[in-house]
Amino acid sequence: MIRLVTPDYSDLGEGREAGDALLTFVACAHAMLDPSTPEEQVRRLETRLLAQLPTLRALGVFDLFAVRDTALAALLADEDEPIHT
């Protein structure tokens, strides 16, 4: 796999700006899909990845690009489900 981002995900910003949101999402997704990433780190990255969704949806990113990894696509689909209380 070609890495377009740094393998050191600790230096990423909070993702408040659109470009940062996309960078954070891609970096987190790459790390989460890497089988060598420890489960504890995957859980932390998942939180950061999901935090970027409102910005990326507002930008229409998922109208332009499809998530091909089935596990990641399922995670994102779960976030689209309405919460029933």
Query: What is d(CA 66, CA 69) in angstroms, rounded to the nearest whole number?
Result: 9
Q: Which amino acid is at 45?
A: L
Closest by CA to 3, choosing from 24, 23, 30, 29, is 30
Query: What is d(CA 76, CA 85) in angstroms, rounded to the nearest whole number?
Result: 20
Query: What is d(CA 57, CA 77) in angstroms, rounded to the nearest whole number?
Result: 12
- For 1, the 3-state DSSP assignment is coil
Domain boundaries of the chain, sorted by first residue: 9-80
Q: The pTM is what?
A: 0.74
User: What pLDDT score was predicted for residue 20?
Assistant: 87
> pLDDT by residue (tens digit) across 12-59?
554 457 788 999 999 999 999 999 999 999 999 999 999 999 999 998
User: What pLDDT score was predicted for residue 18?
Assistant: 78
